[in-house]
Amino acid sequence: MKKQKIAITLDESLIGFLDKMAEGNRSQYLNNLLTEHRNKVIEEQLIASLSEDTQDPQYQKEIQEWEGVVGDGIDEEE
């Protein structure tokens, strides 16, 4: 994955914490931290979207209509 160097400004109290947690590799630690946070945000958005779908009667009707054709042709021998 392509990487880009950036400059950030942190509170002095956070720099000490970052150095302790990063164990010598600030970039890798921040990459991992941001990746975990991004994944959590995406998961929360997905759950919210799915929750909305479960409350949508039109969507639920469409799901029920597709239920009857989901397995069509899978077990048929040619």
- How many domains in the chain? 1
Whether residue 2 is contained in a domain is answered as no
Residue 71 reports pLDDT greater than 70: no
Burial class (CB within 10 angstroms; exposed 0-12, middle 13-18, buried 19+) of 30: middle
Whether residue 25 is contained in a domain is answered as yes
Whether residue 73 is contained in a domain is answered as no
Whether residue 56 is contained in a domain is answered as yes
Whether residue 31 is contained in a domain is answered as yes
Q: What is the pLDDT of residues 11-54, one digit of tens each?
A: 999 999 999 999 999 999 999 999 999 999 999 999 999 998 88
Whether residue 77 is contained in a domain is answered as no
Quote the domain boundaries for residue 37.
12-65
Give me the amino acid identity at 55.
Q
Model pTM above 0.85: no
3-state secondary structure of 29: helix
Whether residue 30 is contained in a domain is answered as yes
CB 59 within 8 Å of CB 53: yes
